[in-house]
A = this chain, B = another copy of it.
Amino acid sequence: MTMVSELGRRAKAASKFLAGVTSAQKDQALVRIAGALTLGANKILQANAQDIEAARANGLTEAMIERLTLNHKRIGQMAAALEELIALPDPVGSVLGGMVRPNGLKISKVRVPMGVIGIIYESRPNVTVDAATLCLKAGSAVILRGGKEAIHSNRALVGIMCDALEEAGFPADCICLIEDTTRQSSQELMRLNGYVDVLIPRRGAGLIQAVVQNATVPVIETGVGNCHVYVDSSADLEMARRIVVNAKAQRPSVCNACETVLVHRDIAEAFLPRLFADLREHGVQLRGCKTTLAVLQQGETLPEGLTAAAEEDYATEFLDYILACRVVDSFGQALLHIDRYSTRHSECIVTGSYANAQRFTAQVDAAAVYVNASTRYTDGGEFGYGAEIGISTQKLHARGPMGLQELTTYKYIVLGDGQTRE
């Protein structure tokens, strides 16, 4: 038995324990974890310093190092997030439906824990705590496979959480960390059928595709967002400008940020110069179609911050201060563009037309479809779900923000008094 399958076996055993605990017991364990993280801050920061040192030695980018870095403030935020998690209602045990059948059978559909949840994620140590505690609250054991750059931090964080679990009378195996950060260990986790009930890859189109291609356990695809804002001919142009700028520039590195703006040609001349000026102020580069360039061109030369869009720009999740822009001839052409390039995450129309709002929400196939609001709202917190484990872009099981509820499943409990089938 390999180390990964041994972890699978242990996590599965721990999941049986978790299936039997009360909400109060889980919350008590979370309280202990919050306290232990605060008390263990120096130990965590020491481990984190090792990771940062190695990251610098290996020439990681500043952005990657920034995501890897912990400090007292961030550890405080982890503990604060735990307080919020504790306050959320326990999804487990709620009755989703039921009936008494004509033969007297009483059938109820009851929410139960998933069992064992696998998470493969980038080198962000805060995800280690977020993911583990969300799974715990949802009643499942978790197997974590974090990025190799964060291994010292992850080991320290998981060590502290497991000690706290044991103090609360829980098996430490409720939170398992795969310490082997080779490619082989994540491949093994993807194929741990019988132990892993669902595997969630977080972040990075490459990682997510590797999981989709290689996993034999059930997977929830998350997080790639090639999101569009379509500015209809009937849009309030002032509102449209604010929405596009917010959707692009408020935080460009996240999956619900806008990557392409589509502009109806009837308002292109009135809208694009104002949009472009505002985007420039926010440091956003525009990559425009021919019509966009023609509208914004000053004499023979393109203004600074504007270049020609290539076909592949429309398919790119920039995650940066770059926005593609295309002028469309019609509402229908906007729908076709979105259908072709969308990753089915978040799509928006800015419109004053009731009919177009109705058509857009009905016909656009995405986890979240917006009328007259920024795509940046696709988020567990903004939806009022509290903490989230990610944004699902597939249609099976969960779509959009995945909170505690989406980390559970259900079973049917059938109570009889001797019924047999004829």
Interface residues of A (CB under 8 A from B): 16, 19-20, 99, 101, 105, 107, 112, 114-115, 193, 197-198, 212-213, 216, 218-221, 236, 239, 242-243, 245-247, 250, 339, 357, 361-363, 365-374, 376-378, 382-384, 394-397, 399-400, 409-422
Closest 4 CB pairs of A and B: A373-B416, A246-B420, A397-B397, A395-B409
Bound together, the chains give a CA A66 to CA B409 distance in angstroms of 37
19 contacts between A and B (CB under 8 A): A16-B339, A16-B363, A20-B363, A105-B373, A107-B383, A107-B384, A112-B365, A115-B395, A197-B396, A198-B396, A218-B395, A236-B418, A245-B420, A357-B415, A370-B414, A370-B415, A372-B416, A373-B419, A400-B412
Nearest-neighbor residue (CB-CB) of A401 within chain B = B412
Chain B residue contacts of A366, Cβ below 8 A: 411
* Chain A interface, DSSP helix/strand/loop, else mixed: mixed
Nearest-neighbor residue (CB-CB) of A215 within chain B = B216
Known contacts: A101-B382, A418-B242. The answer to whether A369 contacts B212 by CB under 8 A is no
- Are B193 and A414 in contact, CB atoms less than 8 angstroms apart? no
**From residue A357, how far is it (CB to closest CB) to chain B in Å?**
8
Contact of A397 among B20, B370, B396, B411 (CB under 8 A): B396
Known contacts: A105-B377, A395-B218, A396-B396. The answer to whether A369 contacts B411 by CB under 8 A is yes
Nearest-neighbor residue (CB-CB) of A416 within chain B = B373
Chain B residue contacts of A218, Cβ below 8 A: 218-219, 221, 394-396
- Are B114 and A373 in contact, CB atoms less than 8 angstroms apart? no
- Are A374 and B115 in contact, CB atoms less than 8 angstroms apart? no
